[in-house]
Homo-oligomer: A and B are copies of this chain.
Amino acid sequence: MDIDIIKPLVKPSKSKIVLVVMDGLGGLPRESDNCTELEAAHTPNLDRLAKKGICGLQQPVGPGMTPGSGPGHLGIFGYDPIKYKVGRGVLAALGIGFDLQPGDVAARGNFCTLDEDGAVVDRRAGRISTEKNQELCMLLKNITIPGVEVFVETVKEHRFLLVLRGKNLSGNLIDTDPQEIGKKPFEPQGLSSEAASTAAFVSQFLEQVRTVLAQQHPANMVLLRGFSTRPHWPSMQDAFGLKSAAIAGYPMYKGVSKLVGMDILETGNTINDEFTTLEKHWNEYDFFYLHVKKTDSAGEDGDFDRKVSVIEETDRELPRLLNLNPDVIMVTGDHSTPSVMKAHSWHPVPVLLSSKLCRPDKVDQFGERACLSGGLGNRFAAVDLMPLALAHAKRLEKYGA
| A binding-site residues for B, Cβ under 8 Å | 1, 5-6, 9, 26, 28-29, 34, 36, 57, 61-72, 81-82, 85-86, 88, 91-92, 95, 341, 344-348, 357, 359-362, 368-369, 372-373, 375-380, 384-392, 396-401
Contacts and interface: CB of A to CB of B under 8 A. Distances in A.
5 contacts: A66-B396, A91-B400, A345-B357, A346-B388, A379-B380
A63 B401 contact: no
B362 A399 contact: no
A359 B29 contact: yes
B376 A369 contact: no
Contact of A401 (B1, B92, B348, B360): B92
Copies of this protein in the complex: 2
A369 B378 contact: no
Contacts of A82: 5
A5 B372 contact: no
Interface centre among A70, A346, A347 (most CB of B within 10 A): A346
Given A28-B359, A91-B401, A398-B344, A379 B377 contact: yes
Contacts of A362: 369, 372
Given A86-B400, A95-B401, A387 B65 contact: yes
Given A359-B368, A361-B372, A369-B361, A346 B391 contact: yes
